[in-house]
Amino acid sequence: MAEIETPHGFVSSGKKRAGRDDLDGGDDFVVLKKSKMSPAMAWEDPAALFAAARHEFGEHGGVNMSIEASATFTVMEPDTMRRMFSGELGPDRDFFIYSRHFNPTVLNLGRQMAALEGTEAAYCTASGMSAISSVLLQLCSSGGHVVASRTLYGGTHALLTHFLPRACNITTTFVDIGDLEMVKNALVEGKTKVMYFESLSNPTLTVANIPELSRIAHDKGVMVVVDNTFAPVVISPARLGADVVVHSISKFISGGADIIAGAVCGPASVVNSMMDLHQGALMLLGPTMNAKVAFELSERIPHLALRMKEHCHRALVFATRMKKLGLKVMYPGLEEHPQHQLFKSMVNKDYGFGGLVCLDMETEERANRLMHHLQNFSQFGFMAVSLGYYETLMSCSGSSTSSEMNAEEKELAGISPGLVRMSIGYIGTLEQKWSQFEKALSRMQDSGVLYKN
């Protein structure tokens, strides 16, 4: 087989098996080919990194990569099988064993994810939760300790609070990541294996000081794992010091609200260890991504940056206007947001400040009424959990995605019962959507419950 250097400098992956033994491999199989990036390129722009990564052509010269739909792969010589299982021959030299281990199409999507996050390697999984749980299980052994942010996605919070202590004797201390002293005090040298937080937290949009938190963790030999689901492209945690970046691809990266998927992006050593035949959490627990799904996602990542810009633009305009109307709005792009300056210092240039806006309606009843008008009266968006869809999605976090938390945990995390989380879509025109928002709001006013003075 050969990788053919085309006149455009892209690499086309050949399809013949004969002769592939002659290749001098060498690269780790999941490693992004750094040599393909020009050194002058702005490292921090994920779109530039993505465009500079290797383009995978289809088997017959198709502009899109082929889908390798096979679960298993043949060899020419019986001895090759032994060499593959011993680790001597691997995907870097086009030797595949079985698709729960490595699948070429899923591997290509992993390369795209690594390019996007600026990490050495990445591999994709069947869901965001499987990416998160596999990383934690890989980095922590029984008796291990995690220091995690108090404001986390409900599923992750439940995993750390209930599942991991019971099933694996992995315990977690939850902290306010804005309180660096509290974070330092929670780290137990030798015992704490992972510091875990979200770049932009769900649902409160709390901004993590990634450089400072990473420094504190690394001082004590602790790995930093950051969930960047809320802000792909907008923020690059690995550039800011994080070791591993996890994603729920189901959200912005997919953008279609039709696929559940995840990714682990990080150093090749971590990603490879997760694929190890004897000790790898991804290999052995098996939350595998289907190759057809990987192909479908690979068609969407090229326009992720464009989509994010529009999500972010509209979120900023809406948040600014909501604020002007006297609503209690939380958006890290607003000057008034307590961590606006911090966020500004970390974000990649020209993308904006994220596509989520939170409105505090104070009581669940008012939150529900607003959402009802927004969906059923003015067609502003849909009442649904999840985010990153082209339509606006809204949910009352306290009674939905964060309902795994008890009242005290929710209060500590700053989740008011009337918190409405909105993932701002980009369908229609901005003014069309805003007038729908205003129309729903005027209905609230009619019932005299909206404005406080």
CB closer to ligand PLP, 73 vs 196: 196
CB of 259 vs ligand PLP, minimal distance in Å: 9
Q: Are strands 171-175 and 145-149 parallel, antiparallel or unpaired?
A: parallel
CB of 136 vs ligand PLP, minimal distance in Å: 12
CB of 262 vs ligand PLP, minimal distance in Å: 5
CB of 250 vs ligand PLP, minimal distance in Å: 4
Residue nearest to ligand PLP (CB): 128
Distances (CA, A) of 277 to 98, 120, 158: 11, 21, 29
Q: Which residues bind ligand PLP (CB under 6 A)?
A: 127-129, 153, 155-156, 198, 202, 227, 229-230, 248, 250-251, 260, 262
CB closer to ligand PLP, 227 vs 391: 227
| C-alpha to C-alpha distance for 212 and 203, rounded to whole angstroms | 22
CB of 130 vs ligand PLP, minimal distance in Å: 7
- Give kind and range of the element (H or E) at residue 224: strand 223-227
| C-alpha to C-alpha distance for 27 and 397, rounded to whole angstroms | 45
CB closer to ligand PLP, 12 vs 229: 229
CB closer to ligand PLP, 66 vs 156: 156
CB closer to ligand PLP, 230 vs 382: 230
Start-to-end CA distance of the chain, whole Å, equals 72
In our burial notation (b when 16+ CB lie closer than 10 A, e otherwise), range 101-134 reads bbbbbbbbbbbbbbbbbbbbbbbbbbbbbbbbbb
Assigned token pair, 289:
């991504």
| Residue 51 burial class via C-beta count within 10 angstroms: exposed 0-12, middle 13-18, buried 19 and up | middle
CB closer to ligand PLP, 293 vs 319: 293
CB closer to ligand PLP, 126 vs 319: 126
CB of 194 vs ligand PLP, minimal distance in Å: 15
Assigned token pair, 405:
């938390």
CB of 123 vs ligand PLP, minimal distance in Å: 15
CB closer to ligand PLP, 202 vs 290: 202
CB of 401 vs ligand PLP, minimal distance in Å: 8
Q: 3-state DSSP call for residue 63?
A: coil
| C-alpha to C-alpha distance for 171 and 141, rounded to whole angstroms | 10
CB closer to ligand PLP, 168 vs 260: 260
Place of tokens 């790995």: 223
CB closer to ligand PLP, 151 vs 298: 151
Collect all residues with Cβ–Cβ distance below 8 Å to 234 and sequence separation of at least 6.
308, 312, 347, 348, 351, 352, 353, 354
CB of 416 vs ligand PLP, minimal distance in Å: 19
The answer to whether 290 and 100 are in contact (CB under 8 A) is no
Q: Is 230 left (phi over 0), alpha (psi -120 to 50) or beta?
A: alpha
CB of 385 vs ligand PLP, minimal distance in Å: 8
How long, in residues, is the chain? 453
Q: Kindly state the DSSP code that residue 447 receives in the 8-state scheme.
A: T
Collect all residues with Cβ–Cβ distance below 8 Å to 32 and sequence separation of at least 6.
53, 111, 114, 115, 119, 120, 121
